[in-house]
Amino acid sequence: MILKLVGCFDGGIVLGCAIKGDTDHYEHVCTESMRGTQDVALAHAFPVGNGILTCPTRALAEERADVSRKDFGGKAAKACLRLIEIRSTLGVEA
């Protein structure tokens, strides 16, 4: 499935949020979501903007997601666009 999607797009943005709870499940979700995002980017020379929030509290997640404050989703989109530009400049094929 990923291979088909990678071939159809110039890049992708991963958005999500993990908020720490009372178990260690949070640590696993954070680690594996970051690893999966990195694996796709590296294996396919596919520009990915990583907008996965990993936060200890909901308040911090809301601050990071708010477009008038930290706007991490917007920053992930800008990073992806820059990576697409760099890949194009270098002539790298996906």
Active site residue 25: yes
Report the alpha-carbon distance of residue 26 to residue 55 in Å, rounded. 9
What dotted CATH number matches 6-90? Answer: 3.40.50.960
78 neighbors 51 (Cβ within 8 angstroms): no
Report the alpha-carbon distance of residue 70 to residue 63 in Å, rounded. 6
Condensed to tens digits (0 to 9), the pLDDT of residues 33-63 reads 999 999 999 998 899 999 999 999 999 999 9
Single out the catalytic residue among 3, 5, 9, 25.
25
7-11, 13-17, 24-28 — which is least confidently predicted?
A: 7-11
